[in-house]
Structure formats: C-alpha cells, structure tokens
C-alpha cells in the first residue's frame, strides 16, 4: 500500500477511534493548526478562508465560528465523506473535491479568498504539484490575500544531497515568477528525531517520534519508513498576492 493511501486510511481510523485520537494527540494538533492559522494569517471575522487538504475538516470547523466563510477541500472522496459528516451542515462551511487536473480549485471563483493555508499536505505531492497550486492560488486569492504552508522533503539513501536544494529552488522561483510578496520563507533542516518543531509544523496528525514515541507500532499509523530517513528539510512559506 502506498504511503498516501495509508495516510487516507489513517484519517478513517482517527474518525472512528477516540483511543487513537488520544494516543496521537490529534486534538492538540488541531488546536495548534487553529492557533497557527489564526496568528500567522491574522484571521478576522470578515475573512473568506480556504483550507487545502482538510482531512476530517476539524481545523476549518473551529475556524468557521471565527471567520465569515470557510472552504474545506480534499482530493480523496473518503476524506470528503468523513469531512461532510464532521462539519454537519454548518451554514458557513463547505467541503468540496479538488479536481485531479488544473484548475484544482474549480469550485472557487476568481479573486474570492482572503486567506488560505495547507497544513500537513504537500509531503505527498511532487514539487510540480505545489507549483501548480501556487498558480491556482494566484487566481483565487484577492489582491493582498495570503497563503501559508509548510512542506517537507525527506532525504533517504537514494537521494543526492543537492536534491533537497533543487526542490526548494523550484518553489522559490515559482513564488517570484507569480509575483507574490514573500513574508516568510524559513528552513528547518536535520534528523527528524532531533527536531521537535518538525512534529509541530509538518507532521502533526502523523506525529514524529518526538511527539508519540512508539506510535509506529499502531497498525493504522503510516510513515513506517522513518528509519530510512536520514535528514529532513521543512520549509515554512507565507506569501501575499500582489
């Protein structure tokens, strides 16, 4: 089974198992996501917000009581079904499917979104997909609208050292080409076992060993390949549309 499919099954397990939610500190992770989005994007009551890769929709569900409108979205039908059950017909929040090909966010009009974020999402996608999302966000964001994400690149034995730098270079080039203003562009580099902020910024719902200890013994937990990871680069980006 692929890592991405294991990730989807993990969300299903989280939805149905309160014990698993407690074990991986899921509610604490959601609280952190809400706090980071609120603080970093300076969310306010008039904002229309986009949550990309929403999982169970819990972050958007909490934020819906604090902002004007929330769009949750995911590419996986199973997540969308679980998410729609979870948001339970709250009037100012919806859960839509991301299309497999551009425009990914076809359910959103041009120049419609004030703030957008993607937490714990782009680890599962090739670099060109993140670039395409940046292009699509340039369409849906209002002028002055902001986007926040943290993506990570794991280095295993079959990666050359320059591979990590090349990927970040591609993303930085896309940000410049699309005429975003860069507010924050920070790197975190090292062995994931030794960097606590990796669990906070990147893997949250799929916690690092720093957060959970022997979580990988759980049948539902993905990322059993942690032992092959020799280093990880996480990049935090906050950009604003000109």
Strands 69-74 and 93-97: parallel
Assess contact for 7 and 14: CB atoms under 8 A: no
What pLDDT was estimated at residue 9? 64
Mean pLDDT, the chain, whole residue set: 78
Chain mean position to CA 110: 22
Q: How do residues 135-181 score in pLDDT, each as one tens digit?
A: 999 999 999 999 998 776 655 555 544 445 566 788 889 999 999 99
User: Cα–Cα distance between 73 and 168 in angstroms, integer?
Assistant: 25
Classified as helix, coil or strand, 91 is: coil
Superfamily of domain 3-241: Vaccinia Virus protein VP39 (3.40.50.150)
The DSSP symbol for 146 reads E
Q: H/E/C letters for each residue in 152-175?
A: EEEECCCCCCHHHHHHHHHHHHHH
Give the DSSP H/E element, type plus range, for residue 113.
strand 113-118
pLDDT confidence of 193, banded at 50, 70, 90? low
- Rg of the chain's alpha carbons, rounded to an integer? 17
- Token pair of 5 as six digits: 């499919």
What pLDDT was estimated at residue 211? 35
Residue whose C-alpha is closest to residue 229's, from 154, 153, 120, 123: 154
Lowest mean pLDDT among 61-65, 120-124, 168-172, 180-184: 120-124
User: Cα–Cα distance between 101 and 103 in angstroms, integer?
Assistant: 6
- Token pair of 15 as six digits: 């939805």
Lowest mean pLDDT among 29-33, 54-58, 171-175: 29-33
Rounded (10°) CA dihedral 152, 156, 159, 163: 20
User: Environment class of residue 2 by beta-carbon count within 10 Å: exposed (0-12), middle (13-18) or buried (19+)?
Assistant: exposed
Residue whose C-alpha is closest to residue 117's, from 33, 222, 216, 26: 33
Q: What is the pTM of this model?
A: 0.81
């Amino acid at each position: 089974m692929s890592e991405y499919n294991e990730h989807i099954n993990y969300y299903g397990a989280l939805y149905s198992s309160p014990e698993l939610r407690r074990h991986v500190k899921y509610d604490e992770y959601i609280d952190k996501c809400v706090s980071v989005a609120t603080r970093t994007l300076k969310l306010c009551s008039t904002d229309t917000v986009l949550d990309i890769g929403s999982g169970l929709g819990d972050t958007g569900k909490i934020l819906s009581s604090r902002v004007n409108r929330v769009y949750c979205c995911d590419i996986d039908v199973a997540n969308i079904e679980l998410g729609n059950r979870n948001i339970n017909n709250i009037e100012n929040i919806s859960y839509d499917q991301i299309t497999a090909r551009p425009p990914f966010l076809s359910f959103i009009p041009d120049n419609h979104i004030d703030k957008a974020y993607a937490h714990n999402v782009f680890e599962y996608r090739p670099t060109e997909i993140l670039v395409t999302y940046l292009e699509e966000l340039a369409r849906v964001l209002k002028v002055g609208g902001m986007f926040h994400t943290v993506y990570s690149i794991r280095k295993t034995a079959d990666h050359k050292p320059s591979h990590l730098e090349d990927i970040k270079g591609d993303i930085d080039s896309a940000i410049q080409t699309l005429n975003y203003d860069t507010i924050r562009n920070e790197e975190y580099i090292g062995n994931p076992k030794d960097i606590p902020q990796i669990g906070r910024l990147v893997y949250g719902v799929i916690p690092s060993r720093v957060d959970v200890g022997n979580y990988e013994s759980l049948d539902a937990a993905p990322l059993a390949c942690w032992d092959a990871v020799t280093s990880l680069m996480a990049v935090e980006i906050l950009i604003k549309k000109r």
